[in-house]
Structure formats: C-alpha cells, structure tokens
Structure 1
Amino acid sequence: MKYDAQAFPLPPGFHGRLRIGLLGGSFNPAHAAHREISLIALHRLKLDAVWWLVSPQNPLKSVTGMAALSARLQSARDISAHPRIMPCTFESAIGTRYSADTARALRKLYPRMRFVWLLGADNLAQLRYWKDWRGFAAAMPLCVLDRPGYTGKAAASLAAHALQPHRLAMSDAAALPDRAAPALLRLQSKLNPLSATLIRAAQPAKASIAAFGRRSITRK
C-alpha cells in the first residue's frame, strides 16, 4: 500500500513502536470536546499521539446533513491545533466502515504499535449495537471517557458488564496501551457538554464548519 501522510499520520522520527490513541467518528463537525478528551488521553495514558479517524460514513448515523469528508477533515485540523493530535482518513484509504475491521487492520499494518481505542461513555452505552462489538473489544484496549448524561448508562450497559473482568483501575491508566485486549479503563474527565449534533442545530445555516471550529477554540 502506498504511503499517504493524510491517511497514515506517522510522526517525525517514527521507529515503529509508538503508543497511539484512536478517536473515531464523523467529526461533523469536530469540536472542543474532541480536543479535550484527546489531551486528557495523551497525558493520562502516556500516549505518543492521538489519531482522529475521520469516518467516511458512520453506519449508525444518517447521511442526511453529513458534510463532505474533506470538510470534516478540515474541521478536525482546525480544532485539533496540537502537534500530537493527528486527524486522518485511514478508514477511507483502506475501505473500512466498521470499527472492528478498522482496529484489526491497524493491528495488522502496524504490529509493533500499541493502540488504545478512545470512546465516549455514550459509545460504551450503545456498543452492543456495533457490528462485531465483541471482536472489536478483543482487538485492542478500550479507554472510556465521561460524557454528560451517559455515566450511569455506560456503567449499566451490556458491554460494561461483559468487560468488567478486564477492567483496570484509573491508577493503571499509563499501563493500558501495553495490556493485551480485552482491557477496559473508565477514565474520569471534564464533562464538556458540546456535541456535533448540538453544534449543527445551533450554528447559522450559512456558517461554515471551519469557522465554528475556530470560535470553539476561542471560547475554551
């Protein structure tokens, strides 16, 4: 496969064994809460980088109102504003739509890397509806970060109960990337109420995604 820096954002001086957090999503648009949880994960999990996997199309979301991939990627670049937060189009490059397939592809392509998939608590609450969610959880360690209104739902979810025997304490956060999957860490974080849905509902019809992203950074 031909190397494409937009799809595979390897840092300068790459030597093959890095600790990478993966934050998947539509990023329609990207916003400050994405950046906040990425910074928390970088610090608490001792990661070398966080890749934002800008999805070509989330199978659980409607195509109605979905901005073009190029616009969503630019939105992610505008918001990330950090040398170790790297938006990319990996899923488009390799043709995956489901997180389980993406996780397995990454493990195969970069066998020496240590990956952790970053999930909002809302995603843990609905993980049972993801295609091959058990295979996904077995592919790499999962780090779940709090989202407003979802802490209780996440804790009571089928996935949380299934993964309870593999749960780590928060004090073991830095060890998570080196753990064999399945492994689950619930990480308390600042509860930012922003969501892409609220942003799309609130922004004026003619406002661009990139412009909203810059205003989000200014407010932070």
Structure 2
Amino acid sequence: MRAGLPLAARGMRIGLLGGSFDPAHEGHVAITEAAMRQFRLDRVWWLVSPGNPLKARGPAPMAQRLAQARRLLTDPRIVVTDIEQRLGTRMTADTLAALRRLYPGVRFVWLMGSDNLVQFHRWDRWKRIAATVPIGVLARPGSRTAARHTKAAQVMARARLPLSQAGTLAGRKPPAWVLVNLPMSRQSSTALRAGR
C-alpha cells in the first residue's frame, strides 16, 4: 500500500465521493451521511480532485481544500483524501482502475449528486465507469427530475435498481445504480465561493 492512502480491508463497502470540494460544505456532509445509511456503507472517502476537466476555472489550492473539508467532519468513517493527486490520476475511470488494483476485494460504490448524472455522459469513459463500480445517485435540488431522463440514465435504464434495493448496491455486479431522494440542501460550493 502506498504511503498516505487510506486503509481498507477486503469486503468493506466504501463509497467514493469525488469533487473539487471548493469549498466543502454541509450539503456534502448531508449527502455523505445519507449515502452511508441508504447504501449501507462502512466508509465514504471524499476524493478531493486536483481539478475538474469540465470546469473552466481552477480550484483553490489542494492543501486549503483538504484542511477545510477535514475541519467540517466529525464522523471518523468519512475520510478526506487526496488520492487522485497521490496516484497521478485526473479522470475518474483511471482513479477507479487504480483503486481496484490497490484494494482487491473492497466493494467500491461511486457516489454522485443527481446534478452530476445530468452531465455524466460527458465524462471521459463514462460507460467504463458504470461497468466498473455500482453508482449511488443522490438527489440534488433542481436536477432530480432531469436526472431520470438523461442520456446516461436512458443507456443504463436496465441496470437501475428500485429504491427498496438501495442497501444491496455495494454487493451488486456493475452496471448497477439507484437514485435516492433525500431532504434537499440548496447549499453549493459555487454559491459559497461567490459569497467570499
């Protein structure tokens, strides 16, 4: 195992929430806690990305974003990481491939807000991502309905699980995904940056 990477044992169910976290906020915490409950996860790793290829502007420095995210959290099951920076990966498909090699037997679940599902078909090798790990989609304001009708949702329609089976997601063979409704938080990193 490489230095600085989180520990995980074979059989653990770990959610992966990627993003710039610029800055991390209570909305991230709320969807993480909901994901742990709904998908019966042992841990959630926040993958603080070096940068987002779909965003025009670069994020705040990595050290600042990591420190701010860690100050926000109190649950030791939620781990803030700079895995992509340590692995030298920028694309989710590459990060997932590396994590599966480094952590054999760990049951990873990719977590995303419904706002990300709306643009998922624009991600690099998105179909490979869907074929690599199950995906837990968490409703976000303004995108819950749109997410159900996106190109990605239509392509993956047969792999969608009913909400009643959300707790089985980590043990499912991909492709598998489920959309979970939760109490809405309108907080966003974009709005918080604008208020600085």
Pair member with larger Rg: 1
Question: How many residue pairs end up in the alignment?
Answer: 196
1:149 to 142, 155, 164: 142
TM-score relative to the length of structure 2: 0.96
1:26 partner amino acid: S
1:35 to 29, 41, 65: 29
1:89 aligns with 2:86: no
Write out per-residue CA displacement over residues 142-182 of structure 1, whole angstroms, 9 at most, x where no aligned residue: 00000100012111100001111001111111110000111
The corresponding residue for 1:209 is none
Alpha-carbon distance between aligned partners in 1 of 2:107 and 2:47, rounded to the nearest angstrom:
16
1:87 partner amino acid: V
TM-score relative to the length of structure 1: 0.86
The corresponding residue for 1:214 is none
Q: How far apart are residue 25 of structure 1 and its match?
A: 0.1
User: What CA RMSD, in Å, does the superposition of the two structures yield over aligned residues?
Assistant: 1.1
1:102 to 84, 89, 95: 95
Alpha-carbon distance between aligned partners in 2 of 1:140 and 1:186, rounded to the nearest angstrom:
15
- Indicate the SS of the match to 1:119: strand
Q: How far apart are residue 105 of structure 1 and its match?
A: 1.3
Over 6 Å off, 4+ runs: none
Alpha-carbon distance between aligned partners in 1 of 2:118 and 2:145, rounded to the nearest angstrom:
9
Write out per-residue CA displacement over residues 59-113 of structure 1, whole angstroms, 9 at most, x where no aligned residue: 111234x210000111111122211110001100111101111111111211210
The corresponding residue for 1:2 is 2
2:181 partner amino acid: Q
Alpha-carbon distance between aligned partners in 2 of 1:161 and 1:147, rounded to the nearest angstrom:
19
Alpha-carbon distance between aligned partners in 2 of 1:177 and 1:45, rounded to the nearest angstrom:
7
Verify the 8 A CA contact 2:92 2:129 in the aligned structure 1: yes
Alpha-carbon distance between aligned partners in 2 of 1:163 and 1:153, rounded to the nearest angstrom:
15
Q: How far apart are residue 16 of structure 1 and its match?
A: 2.5
Write out per-residue CA displacement over residues 12-45 of structure 1, whole angstroms, 9 at most, x where no aligned residue: xx53221000000000000001000100111111
1:184 aligns with 2:177: yes
The corresponding residue for 1:56 is 50
Alpha-carbon distance between aligned partners in 2 of 1:75 and 1:113, rounded to the nearest angstrom:
28
Verify the 8 A CA contact 2:16 2:47 in the aligned structure 1: yes
Please list, as runs of the form range in 1=range in 2, the aligned pairs for 1:114-125 lying within 5 A after superposition: 114-125=107-118
The corresponding residue for 2:131 is 138
- Indicate the SS of the match to 2:15: strand
